[in-house]
Amino acid sequence: MSYVLTVIGVGSHGGCDDAVGLHLVTLLAESQSAGCGSGVDCVLWESADALTLVHDLLELANPVLLVDCADMGLAGGEWRAFVPGEGQLRLARDAVSTHGLGIAEALELARGLGFSHALRVFGVQPFDLTPRIGLTAEMGACLPVLFGALAEEVKRLLPDPSICVPVDKPFDRPVLGLGIETKSALALGRGDTIHLYGSFGDLGEPMRRVQMERAVDALLNGEDPPGVIVVDRHPDMFPGVLGRRLARERGLQLLEVQHHQAHAAACMAEHGLEHALALTFDGMGYGGDGTLWGAELLEVGRSGWLRLATFAPVPLPGGDAAVRHPLRQLFSRLLDARVEINAAWQERLGITPLESMVWSRQCRTGLQAPLTHAAGRLFDAFAAWLDLAPACIAFEGEPAIRLQAVAESWQGEPLPAPLPFVGRMADGIWIIDWSGLFAMLPPEPPCVSDRPAWAYAFHLAVAAAMVEMAVSGADRCGVRDVVLSGGVFFNGLLRTLLVERLEQAGLRVWVHRRIPTGDGGIAVGQVWLAGKVE
């Protein structure tokens, strides 16, 4: 086996939650042996001291991800992934391990002795470090979410090989798709093939922008360079800004493609479909109509595309701040449902009457409160009500991952009544309205033992809403093929529930197999659509 990343679990089984790194890397190793990925070497360093770390680091030939218990001033069970020295840690001299492993000093010494590989830390905030064997019950309950986050971090750090997608009609000239800012990847259409190249990750980090620019320059300056650049319609995201500048400077043709149309096209390209319905569900994407989309049913064909259905929009008070703080999204949903934000709700949301007044005014006036249709934001708000979302998220999609993990722990206990939503036609688009759901919710969430049933019921409701959208679209346009694309479909439980019900409704369902279902596959859709332009 040729390894490209070493994941090291650090800790001690004799200090309660100090063993969480050992548990997580053991789970990762088991998933590797079960065929859930390759290229990762999983190693356990139990009760390691600084000198042992230095010695063993010097023996490694790959980039390293250290997984350990860390005091970062967060709530127990929270996690962060970071480069040592970024200021995430509260212990003296950046000691990452709570049993005294001085990671900053050890890494500095290892660097001086010749260790030159990239190193990141996946730190988990402990609940308890009492000298006792076994994780706390609270940390044990967090393991599914933590393992999902660790698996995503590992996947992000692994280099993606080029994925090749054949096309029926060869490209007249090479086409370069620049993707989107999050989970950025490039796609190049040349001849009868689209090549998807490895992810650059989140382009919010300056170094990743530099890496992407270098890769784009190499393609533009190579043999048979692209004559067309395709970007997302968002006016401010880095790939679009870069693409527009390069097209202007080099005299290249520039095409702009709507975010969710590109999602749909990526799955259609993978399966060779020319005409299909597309359920494109994600955290949000620029809609081009002044709102943020993310729960869309589109009809996509040779002659263009049409929006057939979506979720009713709600405001995001504070914009990106609402994404980082899911309780703001719950507030907006309650306000949209005409729920009085009384003292009980203010206490539940942790806000003052003044904050409630300011947020209400933001939502009603649209001041720093863009409208979003996105399904990801619906997951955030419901997870916040169930008390499953952190006050401040560590990464996009964290509340949804927590909600899914709790739903998957459901053991068949009685479910609440079906969670309500209402469908209605407005301006030729079928709208799914969730205000009735939030109108019925009390300030206090269900007890912990009842939360799996509520989380599972929520997944059932979202799947039912998606089926209603798809069936209404199929009845209107006569198309029976439905592709599923967007980050929401990383949720295996929701995907399984949905596919089963769509097939029962007589629809043919297509899901991503090789191309990423999230933003990492958007560049393929951009290039595929550009190939349809005369």
Q: Tens of pLDDT along 59-81?
A: 776 678 889 888 888 899 999 88
Q: What is the predicted pLDDT for the residue at 533?
A: 75
Res 94: pLDDT? 37
**Rounded CA separation 74/79 (Å):** 8
The gap between the terminal CA atoms of the chain, to the nearest Å, is 47
* Average pLDDT of every residue of the chain: 88
Position 454 scores a pLDDT of: 97
Stated pTM of the model: 0.76
Asked whether the beta carbons of 453 and 415 are under 8 A apart, the reply is: yes
Query: In the prediction, which pLDDT does 96 show?
Result: 40
pLDDT of residue 100: 44
For residue 372 the two structure tokens come to 């979003």
Exposed (0-12), middle (13-18) or buried (19+): which is 252, by Cβ within 10 Å?
Answer: middle
Instruction: Report how far residue 203's alpha carbon sits from residue 186's, in angstroms, rounded to the nearest whole number.
Output: 13
Which stretches in the chain have pLDDT values below 50? 1-2, 34-36, 87, 89-101
- pLDDT for the residue 214: 85
Phi, psi for residue 419 in degrees, rounded to 5: -70, 135
Residue with tokens 């206990």: 413
pLDDT at 49 (0 to 100):
65
For residue 436, what pLDDT is reported? 97
State how far the Cα of 155 lies from the Cα of 170, in Å rounded to an integer. Answer: 32
Predicted local confidence at residue 204, as pLDDT: 78
**Which residues, 6 or more positions from 275, have their beta carbon under 8 angstroms from its beta carbon?**
299, 300, 301, 302, 479, 481
Q: Which amino acid is at 516?
A: P
Q: What is the pLDDT of residue 310?
A: 98
Contact 522, 180 (CB under 8 A): yes
Looking at residue 471, what is its pLDDT? 97
| CA 104/CA 112 separation, integer angstroms | 12
Q: What's the pLDDT at 106?
A: 67
Contacts of 60 (CB under 8 A, 6+ apart): 6, 115, 117
d(CA 404, CA 168): 38
- The pLDDT score that the predictor gives to residue 425 is 96
Tell me, what's the pLDDT at 56? Answer: 72
Q: CA angle 161-163-165, nearest 5°?
A: 170
What residues have CB less than 8 Å from 474, skipping those under 6 apart?
A: 277, 480, 482, 507
Task: Give the C-alpha separation, 149 to 155, whole Å.
Answer: 10
Cβ neighbours around 100 below 10 Å, total: 9
